[in-house]
Amino acid sequence: MPQFYDTPDFEASFTYHGNDLGVVWSKEKAAFRLWAPTADAVSISLYSGGDPAVSDPLKQIPMNRDVSGTWTAQVSGNLNGVYYTYQVTRDGQTVESCDPYARAVGVNGHRAMVLDLASTNPEGWEHDTDPHAGSAVTDAVIYEAHVRDLSVHRSSGIRQKGKFLGIVEPGTRVSGHIPTGLDHIKDLGITHLQLLPVFDYGSVDESNLQKPQFNWGYDPVNFNVPEGSYSSDPFDGAVRVREMKQMVKSLHDHGISVVMDVVYNHVFDAKRFCFNLIVPDYFSRVNNGVYANGSGCGNDTASERSMVRKYIVDSVSYWADEYHIDGFRFDLSGLLDIQTINETIGQVHKHHPNVIFYGEGWNLPTTTVKTCDLAVQSNAHLTPEFAYFNDTLRDSLRGSVFSAAAKGYVTGSCDFREQLESCFRGLCSWCRSPKQTVNYVSCHDNNTLFDRIVLATPNASFEDHVRMNKLAAAFYLTAQGIPFMQAGEEMLRSKPNPKGGFIENSYRSPDSVNSIKWNLLKQQPYRETFAYYKGLIAFRKAHPVLRMSSVYDVLSNLIPIHCLHPQVLAFRATGNVAGEPADELFLMFNSAATAETIPLPGGTWQICINGERAGTQCLATVEGSATLPPISAMVLVKGNLK
């Protein structure tokens, strides 16, 4: 069958271009359309509830063969709140399946639900917009968090622990005065909150949330439906939709844009995934009966097939339209073809030109079903509106992810000067402009920044570990590109292993490992590190010269200084950038264990960032030269501070 799918005849006959797949609801009728070109018969089963453990059938309605491999049926009456599945007969076998285009589902996503989507809109939804619409992508500061991690720790003060609505509880405190949750994130000053998967995934049993369960959620079941375990009632299909929209609305009201982590590159269970049940293995790359496995999750998505591509384009557009999502982080974009990426961006940008797109452009061993280019870093020039995570910057600063003991720049290595110099200017080898590089030193994958520093320098003091952390932050938060951080990095997040060492892959570790421990903010080093990150972000926002969009601007306005100590990096930035208040900036980084003195261009310089503090205020002035203490950054401003 897979070979047959990829013939020109199949594509020509069975590519459907309409926008009515799934169910189109009105008070008078529900119109169903399913793409099932290889089916011999299809019918719809209606149920009063969404739980397959309960026998509550209403009726069965046969579907009729229609254009381009689709099947249709209309059911009169108001079906809002009715659940349904498809009975698909193909290969002499009848299977029951959820709708790939389901917009709502019952518990654990087995049955789709007909839903009046407008009824789930929060108040004021029609006026809701991206608070950062009109900003450049390089103006973004992205904060990556798991829904559960943010609220689940006892010290969070958040009532709706582990829920969509827990993310937007205002006024929560630890020790009565230190902000947690939403207030903490606002205080930090980030622009975009990126949530680990919030579509319906399979690894948490929604029917038994009393049982301790945790998963990152990189195992998609229903791509167009929110995850049930994050709602207050996973059994009622409307609740998760309503609550996720409410979360987005509240975040927008608090000035925070929302990015979804989307995982189109594989599914939870390829054999049981609804699309593959209906059209056997169409969604996946299968060669001689073997699923391609570049993802390591067992089944790579055949994005290069026309109806998979359409599915991805439709799905991302739906989240942008219906949920007002402001950005998409593509998990393993390196497994998806560039035409799918570019068509998705083009379609979303027709109505939402502000939406940002980026992903993991790693080279992975997949086998496509037809010749195509994949969305990997080296194809960045073919996906100009798509940014990629910058592992060169990450590994140069903190050490390779493939060896926990390997040193990077902040842990004392002299080997990465050249890479860091180009990364700081947003110009590493694959990157066509600062708009295409996501600069980071920690995300949910691998060790946290602080743990990684400890592993590379086990004999250094806690104070030095904190200095290394701050130095890494000062570097990537003043670098050209799009800064990104894992939640809690700003308070020395750690994932200690109860058996010793640290957990490097906490995808299903308990809350005790993954939760953000807000009570740490009661201790000075954690609070000071938070203040440092907050100051770095404020400084970045105050200086457009740190957020340039074009290579030409970077080459003209940001000059590296050479002939310094091998562990010192320095850059001089002009004030000749639109909106830049300063006449000039001078940025220096010293990872050596010794203090280093650096000659300065003439005039009086104001120190805004040093090893201890960061912000938009002048901490002190220097002339002639500046001395950087061991393991510290220093950023100087000449002229106006803001």
Q: Which residues bind Ca ion (CB under 5 A)?
A: 200, 228
CA nearest neighbour of 619 among 629, 634, 640: 634
Tokens of 410: 């902040």
200/421 with CB nearer Ca ion: 200
Residue 546 amino acid letter: L
Q: Could you tell me the smallest distance in angstroms from the CB atom of residue 465 to Ca ion?
A: 38
User: Which residues, including other chains, have CB under 8 Å from residue 59's CB and lie 6 or more apart?
Assistant: 45, 46
Task: Answer whether 210's CB lies under 8 Å from 87's CB.
Answer: no
Minimum CB–partner distance for residue 223 and Ca ion (Å)? 12
Query: Of 506, 313, 453, 481, which Cα lies nearest the Cα of 389?
Result: 481
Q: Which of 326, 318, 325, 359 is closest to 342 using CA atoms?
A: 359
Which residue out of 227, 326, 331, 580 is catalytically annotated?
A: 331
Write down the least CB distance from residue 50 to Ca ion, Å: 12
**In the bound complex, what is the minimum distance in angstroms from residue 166's beta carbon to Ca ion?**
17
Please give the residue whose beta carbon sits closest to Ca ion in the complex: 200
Rounded to a whole number of angstroms, the minimum distance from the CB of residue 274 to Ca ion is 13
Place of tokens 């290069």: 304
Closest CA to 551 of 395, 441, 437, 637: 437
Beta bridge partners of 482: 438
Judge contact between 602 and 439, C-beta under 8 A: no
Question: Least Å distance between CB 270 and Ca ion?
Answer: 17
With beta carbons less than 8 A apart as the criterion, state whether 309 and 340 touch: yes
Check: CB of residue 468 under 8 Å from CB of residue 529. no
Query: Closest approach of Cβ 18 to Ca ion, in Å?
Result: 28
Q: Which amino acid is at 57?
A: P
How many angstroms separate the CA atoms of 62 and 22, rounded?
Answer: 15
Number of residues that make up the chain? 642
Catalytic residue among 360, 421, 451, 553: 360
Which residue in this structure is represented by tokens 């903010």?
521
Q: HSE-up of 64 (CA within 13 Å, CB side)?
A: 6
Q: Which is nearer to Ca ion, 228 or 575 (CB)?
A: 228
Residue 95 or 209: which CB sits closer to Ca ion? 209
What is the closest distance, in whole angstroms, from the C-beta atom of residue 237 to Ca ion in the complex? 12
- Give the C-alpha separation, 202 to 217, whole Å: 7
Nearer to Ca ion by Cβ, of 97 and 379: the residue is 97
**Closest distance of CB 456 from Ca ion, Å:** 37
CB of 319 to Ca ion, least distance (A): 16
Question: First vs last Cα of the chain: how many Å apart?
Answer: 63
Q: Are strands 192-195 and 142-145 parallel, antiparallel or unpaired?
A: parallel
CA distance 438 to 391: 9
Shortest Cβ distance from residue 165 to Ca ion (Å)?
A: 17
Nearest Cα residue to 146 out of 527, 530, 511:
511
Side-chain-side CA neighbours of 276 within 13 Å: the count stands at: 21
The backbone region for 307, taken as left when phi is positive above 0, alpha when psi lies in -120 to 50, beta otherwise, is: alpha
Residue 504 contacts residue 404 (beta carbons within 8 Å): yes
Q: Is the dihedral of CA 564, 570, 576, 580 positive or negative?
A: negative
Instruction: Return the number of the residue (268 or 330) whose C-beta is nearest Ca ion.
Output: 268
Distances, alpha carbon 380 to alpha carbons 337, 447, 450, in Å? 12, 27, 30
Crossing angle of helices 237-253 and 306-323, rounded to 10°: 60
User: Quick check: is 331 catalytic?
Assistant: yes
Instruction: Name 27's Cβ contacts closer than 8 Å, sequence gap at least 6.
Output: 78, 80
Cβ atoms of 304 and 333 closer than 8 Å: no
Q: Is 360 a catalytic residue?
A: yes
Q: Which residue number, 228 or 483, has a Cβ lying nearer to Ca ion?
A: 228
Q: Which residues pair with 41 in a beta bridge?
A: 89
CB nearer to Ca ion: give 197 or 399: 197
Q: Show which residues are catalytic.
A: 331, 360
